[in-house]
């Protein structure tokens, strides 16, 4: 009986930690992004990104999705 109580306590604790981690990730998520679609730059909701969109990311921006770096502009060596 003690093992069952201990097991359920650990499961509840882990679930609580997972919920906190998920909330932290949601806060880090970019809501909007600057993207090039059909030859026009515009600011769109990140949830509207589709494969093939070109996204501009600057220093300090939150990355809106898994991206492939096509071009990198840097002033440092």
**Closest to 35 in 3D by CA, of 14, 23, 50:** 50
Does residue 15 contact residue 2 with C-beta atoms inside 8 Å? Answer: no
- pLDDT over threshold 80, residue 33: yes
pLDDT category of residue 77 using cuts at 50, 70 and 90: low
Question: For 60-73, what is each residue's pLDDT tens digit?
Answer: 888 888 888 888 88
Q: In what order do the strands lie in the sheet with 54-56?
A: 40-45, 32-37, 54-56
- pLDDT over threshold 90, residue 6: yes
Does residue 31 contact residue 65 with C-beta atoms inside 8 Å? Answer: no
According to the model, what pLDDT value does residue 14 have?
95
Does residue 27 contact residue 46 with C-beta atoms inside 8 Å? Answer: no
**Closest to 56 in 3D by CA, of 25, 30, 24:** 30
Question: For 42-63, what is each residue's pLDDT tens digit?
Answer: 999 988 888 888 999 888 888 8
């Amino acid at each position: 009986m003690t093992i069952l109580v201990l097991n359920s306590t650990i499961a509840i604790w882990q679930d609580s930690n997972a919920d906190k981690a998920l909330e932290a990730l949601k806060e880090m998520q970019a809501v909007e992004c600057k993207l090039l679609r059909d030859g026009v730059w515009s600011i769109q909701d990140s949830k509207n990104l589709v494969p093939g969109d070109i996204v501009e990311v600057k220093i300090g921006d939150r990355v809106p999705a898994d991206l492939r770096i096509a071009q990198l502009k840097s002033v440092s060596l």
